[in-house]
């Protein structure tokens, strides 16, 4: 065991190294760049026995990663924002091929205008693609999730590629202590790569030629079946990781005082820490409030979310993304379970922090307190698009968003 004080991006590189990846193909993009740099350094200096393919685009990065994986090599890539969007075609191709692959996504805003700061629209954009999609809260979890991703993705019950998200700059470029377990312990825990088939002269396998529409349909069904199965695999691997390495996060979601709380925040990514801080303060003041942090966006934590919505008086969703013409992603996903709910809580969907706008613990505190007070006063309500507009713009933009009740909190 070694504690290293490293950035989230270094944690990713160390996890890939610990998983003994054989092939890495990646194209630099801010804020993912230092992952590529570190892995290049590790391979060139002989610390990691892997081949690094310095591809000319992200589209090629994932294609090369898939090619290596189809040949039987454990392979890895990392990207962000526009890189992920460029790669999107191959994202679908990879999951469709059912070839296990791991990819880090350093979350970042999509332009124009150019913006390199944290935003979840890039990672959630992969929502429908058949990848397992996770997102970490801190650098330690970045390491743990990346390492676990290889085991989850290569589990015969799953055989799907996996994304591990980490927030741009907030995690990718910020140092924090990360416990890296001994390699021997990791080797004992992470089995040799498993995959459903390889494309070799001996296997004679042809991947991806035409299929009948009916067979195509069943292949899609099969991906969904694997997603459902993945829920168990994720929980199983999370708890065995806890037993062996001492860290367990709770599976698809992390429940922070959310078991019995009347009010709950649903949130994902690094700013969950700020939300938790606000919740602790509110709890001290006697408010019954908790946080459900979404760790896995795919497969979506249906059961956990259903339970939370059923037992809460009010749920505050905080999204760092917006599906234009729709709503925030976490809230949209959670509310697909409405018909199955015993009780309906009050719901507010907050859109905040787009393009890296900072939202600090005090703001989470105010947002939550205001929500609780409104519910206590009015009872159940549905307020799906609550724009937490940055302070500098509040007066200017308020009258320009017709159709929605624009309820910004005032400092």
Residues that bind another protein (CB under 8 A): 22-23, 25, 49-51, 53-57, 59-61, 63-75, 89-90, 93, 96-98, 156-157, 159, 191-201, 203-212, 215, 218-219, 221-222, 225-226, 229
Closer residue to another protein, CB minimum distance, 26 or 330: 26
How many Å apart are CA 358 and CA 139, to the nearest integer? 19
- Distance in Å, CB of 236 to another protein, minimum: 13
- Distance in Å, CB of 205 to another protein, minimum: 5
Residue 203 per-residue DSSP state: T
* Cβ contacts of 42 within 8 Å, gap of 6 or more: 13, 17, 48, 50
C-alpha distances in angstroms, 406 versus 5, 180, 349, 358, 383?
A: 42, 46, 12, 20, 10
- Distance in Å, CB of 167 to another protein, minimum: 28
Closer residue to another protein, CB minimum distance, 218 or 360: 218
- Distance in Å, CB of 185 to another protein, minimum: 21
Confirm if 369 and 314 have CB atoms less than 8 A apart.
no
- Distance in Å, CB of 9 to another protein, minimum: 22
Lookup: tokens for 373: 């007070």
Residue 39 per-residue DSSP state: H
Closer residue to another protein, CB minimum distance, 23 or 315: 23
Cis peptide before 112 (omega within 30 of 0): yes
Closer residue to another protein, CB minimum distance, 206 or 342: 206
Closer residue to another protein, CB minimum distance, 22 or 120: 22
CA angle 185, 188, 192 (to 5 degrees): 135
- Distance in Å, CB of 34 to another protein, minimum: 22
Closer residue to another protein, CB minimum distance, 200 or 336: 200
Cis peptide before 113 (omega within 30 of 0): yes
Confirm if 143 and 14 have CB atoms less than 8 A apart.
yes
């Amino acid at each position: 065991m070694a504690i290293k004080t490293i950035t989230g991006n270094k944690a990713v590189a160390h996890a890939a190294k610990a998983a003994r990846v054989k092939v890495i193909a990646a194209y630099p993009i801010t804020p993912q760049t230092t992952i590529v740099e570190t892995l290049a350094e590790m391979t060139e200096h002989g610390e990691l026995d892997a081949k690094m393919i310095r591809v000319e685009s992200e589209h090629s990065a994932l294609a090369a990663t898939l090619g290596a994986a189809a040949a039987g090599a454990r392979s890895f890539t990392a990207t962000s924002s526009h890189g992920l969007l460029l790669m999107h075609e191959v994202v679908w191709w990879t999951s469709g091929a059912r070839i296990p692959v791991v990819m880090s996504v350093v979350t970042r805003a999509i332009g124009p205008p150019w913006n390199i700061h944290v935003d979840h629209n890039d990672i959630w954009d992969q929502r429908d693609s058949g990848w397992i999609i996770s997102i970490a809260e801190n650098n330690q979890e970045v390491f743990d999730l990346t390492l676990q991703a290889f085991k989850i993705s290569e589990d015969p019950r799953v055989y799907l590629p996996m994304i591990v998200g980490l927030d741009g700059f907030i995690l990718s470029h910020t140092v924090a202590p990360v416990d890296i377990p001994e390699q021997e312990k990791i080797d004992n825990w992470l089995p040799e790569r498993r995959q459903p088939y390889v494309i070799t002269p001996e296997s004679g396998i042809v991947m991806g030629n035409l299929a009948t529409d009916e067979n195509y349909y069943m292949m899609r069904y099969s991906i969904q079946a694997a997603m459902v199965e993945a829920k168990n695999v994720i929980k199983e691997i999370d708890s065995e990781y806890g037993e062996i390495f001492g860290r367990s996060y709770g599976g698809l979601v992390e429940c922070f005082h959310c078991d019995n709380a009347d009010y709950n925040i649903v949130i994902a990514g690094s700013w969950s820490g700020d939300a938790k801080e606000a919740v602790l303060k509110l709890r001290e003041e006697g408010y019954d409030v908790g946080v459900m942090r979404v760790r896995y966006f795919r497969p979506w934590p249906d059961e956990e979310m259903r339970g939370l919505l059923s037992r809460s008086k009010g749920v505050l969703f905080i999204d760092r993304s917006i599906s234009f013409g729709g709503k925030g992603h976490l809230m949209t996903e959670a509310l697909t379970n409405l018909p199955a709910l015993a009780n309906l809580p009050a719901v507010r969907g907050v859109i905040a922090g787009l393009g890296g706008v900072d939202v600090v613990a005090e703001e989470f505190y105010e947002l939550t307190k205001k929500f609780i007070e409104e519910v206590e006063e009015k009872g159940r309500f549905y307020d799906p698009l609550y724009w937490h507009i940055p302070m500098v713009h509040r007066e200017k933009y308020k009258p320009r968003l017709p159709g929605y009740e624009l309820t910004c909190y005032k400092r």
